[in-house]
Amino acid sequence: MKVRIMFALVSVLALSSCGGGDDAECGSPLPVLGTPSALGYIVGTAEDVDPDILATEYIETYGDDIDIFTTASTFFAAEMKQQVLDALRCDNRVASIEHRSQGPI
């Protein structure tokens, strides 16, 4: 029980520190690369970040506002609402974000 509470607290603190996509809130949000499409986004994680854990944290925080398609060793693919994208752009655990430009991964 103590571990679960600690994990939840760490998750909330990590996500609350990333702020939104507004320049005033996080300084320099990551650009979203590529051409906008209806296929969602590829979110590249920093070298020492497990994309499964990061994706799970965002699902726990944003629920139905993010839909993860797949995770791999250095990224996850997802559809998301603007508020989730804004948070990811300011999360220092994210290395890159780009629009998906093709079908299944």
Each residue's pLDDT expressed in tens, for the chain with a length of 105 residues: 444 433 333 444 444 444 443 444 788 999 999 999 888 999 999 999 999 999 999 999 999 999 999 999 999 999 999 999 999 999 999 999 999 987 655
Query: Among 71, 66, 102, which Cα is nearest to 85's?
Result: 66
**Does residue 39 sit within a domain?**
yes
Any residues with CB less than 8 A from the CB of 47 and at least 6 apart, and which?
A: 95
Residue 64, in any domain of the structure? yes
84 is a domain residue:
yes
Q: Which two tokens stand for residue 49?
A: 């970040």
Residue 44 CB partners (closer than 8 Å, separation 6+): 74, 75, 94, 95, 96, 97, 98
Question: How many structural domains comprise the chain?
Answer: 1
DSSP letter string over 24-74? HHHSSPPPEES---TT-EEEEEPTT--HHHHHHHHHHHHGGGEEEEEE-SS
Domain that holds residue 12: 2-99
CATH at residue 68: 3.30.70
Does 105 reside within a domain?
no
